[in-house]
Each structure stands twice: as C-alpha cells, then as structure tokens.
Structure 1
Amino acid sequence: MSLSQLVAPHLPYLRRLARALTGSQQSGDAYAVAALEAIVANPDLLKPNMPPRVALYKVLFDIWRRVPTNVAENTSHEGGLLGMAERNVQRNLSSLDMQPRAAFLLEVIEGLTRDEIGQILDLSQSDVAALIVRAGHEISDQIASDVLIIEDEPIIAMDIEALVEGLGHRVVGLARTHAEALESVKNHRPGLVLADIQLADGSSGLDAVNDILAQFEVPVIFITAYPERLLTGERPEPTFLITKPFSVDAVRAVISQALFFGFQAQRPTSLVAAG
C-alpha cells in the first residue's frame, strides 16, 4: 500500500483533531499540512508498530508540541465564527496547559484507547488517566451558555436538550426548520447552537447557521455522520465537528473546546450541531 493510500482515509479526522487543538480552521489546517509534509519528507515517522491513524496523530502532536501556534494577523477572510476564533486562540492557549484537553479529545472524540493515547503523547496509561481527570474538572468549570438546538428529529432533539441541560446550559430555542431557527434568534440571541444539516421541510441547517452568523458571531459545532462533506477545503469550514453517533462525553468535550477558545467572550454562547 502506498503512503497516500495509507494516510488518505484518515485526513478528515486529522484536520478535525488539529482544529480542535488550535481552535481555528487556519491554524488547524496549517498543523495538519505540516504533519503531512513531515511524513512525506520522512515516511519512517509513521511508526509501523502503530495503527496508521494513531501514527498519524503522533506526528501531528509531535509538531504541535514543538512549534508555537501560528495565528495569522489578518483573518478577515474567514470572518464570523472563524475570525472570532482566530482573535481569541493565541491569548487563551498561553494561559492553559493543553495536554489534559488533548488527552480528553483523543479519548472521547477520536475513540482511542488510553494505551494509544499514551503512545501519541509519550505518556504512561496512568499519566493519561490523570490528564483526563484534570480535563473533566476543567470542563465542569466552564461558563454556562444559552443554547439553540436546530434539529428536525424530535427524539434526537429531546436527547440533545437533556444532554445540554445536564451540562449546566440553558436551552432557549428548539428549531425544526431554517425559518424557525431564524425566528428563534430574533427572540433570544443564543451563545451556543446545536444544528442538524437536513431539516424537516427540506431546508438546510447549514444555510440557517450561515444566516445566523451573518447577523452575529456565535460558536458553531456540527454533529454529523458525514464529516467529509464539511471538511472539503473549498470554503471556510466549521472548526468543531462531532461525528454521529455521538456520546455525552464527546459533546461535553467539544463544548468545552468551544468555550475555551474564547467564544464565551460574547454572551450568551451558541453551539451548532449538524448531522
């Protein structure tokens, strides 16, 4: 199997992880590209004793730990959510050790074992466990936000509502269509939006999110069964993605990421989940 065939299936997930680590499309993709360039220059970096995805993530983390976050000064081309992320990332990264968050992401978002996480971070399983406990304490201390849920399946919407409220947030709107989503933000500007992509009347949750972002900045998390449809590289893309089927811990971790990267600077905060 060629190097490209080995790596290609894991690229959308490499980009997702890099973005969650850095908090922006631009910085995350820069790290992903750096990891790929390093592998092309030295294919031996992909350790044969590790699964390809684990080996790929190890290269990313090795670069991430060595190279400071590179946030471009001019981020106006990303605008909206992404521009806000860029403005806040550099300040917040300097104030918090990222290893606990990295370990938590690798476990609950990427679904890796603690042994695999230890291989990526060069830590023992007990050290990884301690980092994940620390991350859990950080998450519990995050600022509560007002949440808009955009989801056309009633049962899924109820599950997300219960999950979000269980995390200490307040649901201020449940929308099943594009029009309902826009009407909801007229009545109450959310700080966090959860949104599906395909909505009840055939409208698009993605279009609803774009229309909301045209009115005000708000963090967006997409929950989707098809992350490759959003991670195309063709346009500004969501920084935060959760892949369906999702777990409570996965949603908790990504909410924590969104809040950490400075989105709470504009209250209340909004979360978008697309699926």
Structure 2
Amino acid sequence: MQISETVEQQLPYLRRYARAVTGVAMQGDLAVETMLEHLLSSLPETVTRVSLFQALEQTLSAPKAWSSASIPASPAGRRALLLTVMEGFNPADAARILGVTEPALADLIDASGNDLSTPHSASIFIIEDEPLIVASLSQIITSLGHTVAGIASTHRQAVEAILQAKPDLILADIQLSDGSQGTEAVAEVRQQINVPAIFITAFPERLLTGRDGEPTFLVPKPFRPSQVKTLISQALFIRSLKIS
C-alpha cells in the first residue's frame, strides 16, 4: 500500500485518538497535522498503522513544540486504554506505540482500569431515542458510580432539560427522533453552559474530517461498554484538569 493511501486510511483514527488525549478537537487535529508534516518531510520508505500512531504519540508527548495552548497531560495509562479499547491495538503494538514493555503496558492498563470508577460521582445527561441504548448507557453510567441527570430524545427536550440540570457530561446520539442532530442540541446548550460531550454515531469517520466544530469524543455504534466507560472516564478527567 502506498504511503499516501495508508495515511488517508488512518487519518480519521489518528484524529480520534489525538482529540481524546488532548480533550480539544482543534488541538488534537493540530497534533496530527504536525506529526504528518514531520513524518512526510523525512520521506520514510514505508509507514504502517503502528508507526503512524507511534509518531503521533511522540508529537503528543512534546506539546510545547507544536502548540501554544495548554494541553492536558493524559497519563500513559489512559493513553494505553484509548489505544487498546478505542483503537483496537493488541498489547504488543500498543506497547510499541507508547515505548514501554508489554508487562509495563499491562500494569498501566490495570491501574487505569481501576480508576474508571472514581469516588467523585458525576451527573451525566443522555440524548438518545432508542430505549435499549438508553438502558445500556444508563447501566454503564451507574456502574461507574455516576448518576443519570436526565434523558431526552429530541433537540428541544434536550436543550431545555440540560440547561436546567446542568450536568457534568453529555452522552449524545448524532441522529435524533425529530430529525435533528445531537451535535446541534449540544452546540445550542454550549452557548450558555460549558459542558463536555461524547457523541455516539454509526459513522464516526464523517465527523473526523478536521473541519471546525467537530466533536472531541466519539464512540462508534454499535459500541462496547468498555469503549463508553473509557471515554466517560477520559472526558471527566480532562474536565477535572480544566476546572482545577
């Protein structure tokens, strides 16, 4: 496969990882752009998915070299979870990307896995119109020790209820029952309150193009509970850094 083809194929996933690590879509995309500029300037003979993520991880580990903004420092354990749970890397490849041994990676994942259930309960609002998914998300939220702040299935319901509840986090489906999009509801809410959101979509690559205003946290549909748990933990971790 040509280098350009490999980069094009992996670009949405590189953006997804970088956005989740930094907690800001624009900064994550900037990290990917910087990594690609450095990579292509050296004209490697070949690139692989692992080598691309390895190069991105090196860029993310030195934010002062590419960004004037303050980038939250996600610990290695959280990155290990994002690489294995969200991006599907096996332990050997994830360890190579992070520059650690496989036993060290296992220790990082174990430690971060224990951190998913935090002693600080958060309130999480669900925007979703499928009852089975609502039930699944509610169970995931409560299993982590958090509370469901409310549930809405339409744009109007969501905006009104969220502004009243003022949750710590939003879980939102992209396509709602009234034909609107969850991104629109969240954007309207954010005109009045600052709240992070995780979006759930069957077509995540459509929201990972690098355009302005795209989501920071994305979960593919159908999702695995471990994916939702990992992103809830990461979104709340980033939020805690920003308000501390």
TM-score (norm 2): 0.91
The residue that corresponds to 1:137 in the other structure is: 114
Check the 8 A contact 2:163/2:189 in 1, yes or no: no
In structure 2, the CA distance between the partners of 1:149 and 1:232, relative to structure 1 (3 Å rule), is same
Aligned residues: 244
- Quick check: 1:253 aligned with 2:216? no
Gaps of 5+ in 1: 74-88, 267-275
Q: State the Cα distance separating 1:103 from its structure 2 match.
A: 0.8
Check the 8 A contact 2:81/2:230 in 1, yes or no: yes
The residue that corresponds to 1:115 in the other structure is: 92
In structure 2, the CA distance between the partners of 1:72 and 1:236, relative to structure 1 (3 Å rule), is farther
In structure 2, the CA distance between the partners of 1:245 and 1:230, relative to structure 1 (3 Å rule), is same
The residue that corresponds to 1:55 in the other structure is: 51
Amino acid across the alignment from 1:36: L
Q: State the Cα distance separating 1:126 from its structure 2 match.
A: 0.9
Check the 8 A contact 1:240/1:258 in 2, yes or no: yes
The residue that corresponds to 2:195 in the other structure is: 218
Aligned ranges for residues 1-275 of structure 1 at < 5 Å? Answer: 1-44=1-44, 46-47=46-47, 52-68=48-64, 71-72=67-68, 90=71, 92-93=72-73, 98-141=75-118, 143-263=120-240
SS at match of 2:59: helix
Q: State the Cα distance separating 1:17 from its structure 2 match.
A: 0.6
In structure 2, the CA distance between the partners of 1:45 and 1:100, relative to structure 1 (3 Å rule), is farther
In structure 2, the CA distance between the partners of 1:265 and 1:27, relative to structure 1 (3 Å rule), is closer
- Distance in 2 (CA, whole Å) between partners of 1:8 and 1:35 is 14
- Distance in 1 (CA, whole Å) between partners of 2:146 and 2:34 is 37
Q: State the Cα distance separating 1:40 from its structure 2 match.
A: 1.0
Amino acid across the alignment from 2:159: L
SS at match of 2:64: coil
Q: Which moved more, 1:134-143 or 1:64-73?
A: 64-73
Check the 8 A contact 1:142/1:259 in 2, yes or no: no
Q: State the Cα distance separating 1:236 from its structure 2 match.
A: 1.9
Q: State the Cα distance separating 1:162 from its structure 2 match.
A: 1.0
In structure 2, the CA distance between the partners of 1:228 and 1:105, relative to structure 1 (3 Å rule), is same
- Distance in 1 (CA, whole Å) between partners of 2:9 and 2:196 is 28
- Distance in 1 (CA, whole Å) between partners of 2:221 and 2:43 is 32
Q: State the Cα distance separating 1:246 from its structure 2 match.
A: 1.6
Amino acid across the alignment from 1:165: T
SS at match of 1:218: coil
In structure 2, the CA distance between the partners of 1:143 and 1:68, relative to structure 1 (3 Å rule), is farther
SS at match of 2:191: helix
In structure 2, the CA distance between the partners of 1:159 and 1:190, relative to structure 1 (3 Å rule), is same
Check the 8 A contact 2:51/2:97 in 1, yes or no: yes
Q: Deviations over 1:215-247 (max 9, x none)?
A: 211001112221222123232221111122222
Check the 8 A contact 1:151/1:175 in 2, yes or no: yes
The residue that corresponds to 1:84 in the other structure is: none
TM-score (norm 1): 0.81
Q: Deviations over 1:31-77 (max 9, x none)?
A: 10122112212243755xxxx2222101111222345375545xxxx
Q: Which moved more, 1:35-44 or 1:144-153?
A: 35-44
The residue that corresponds to 1:86 in the other structure is: none
Amino acid across the alignment from 1:64: L
- Hey, which bits of structure 1, 4+ residues long, moved more than 3 A? 66-73, 263-266
- Distance in 1 (CA, whole Å) between partners of 2:76 and 2:128 is 33
Alignment root-mean-square deviation, CA:
2.2
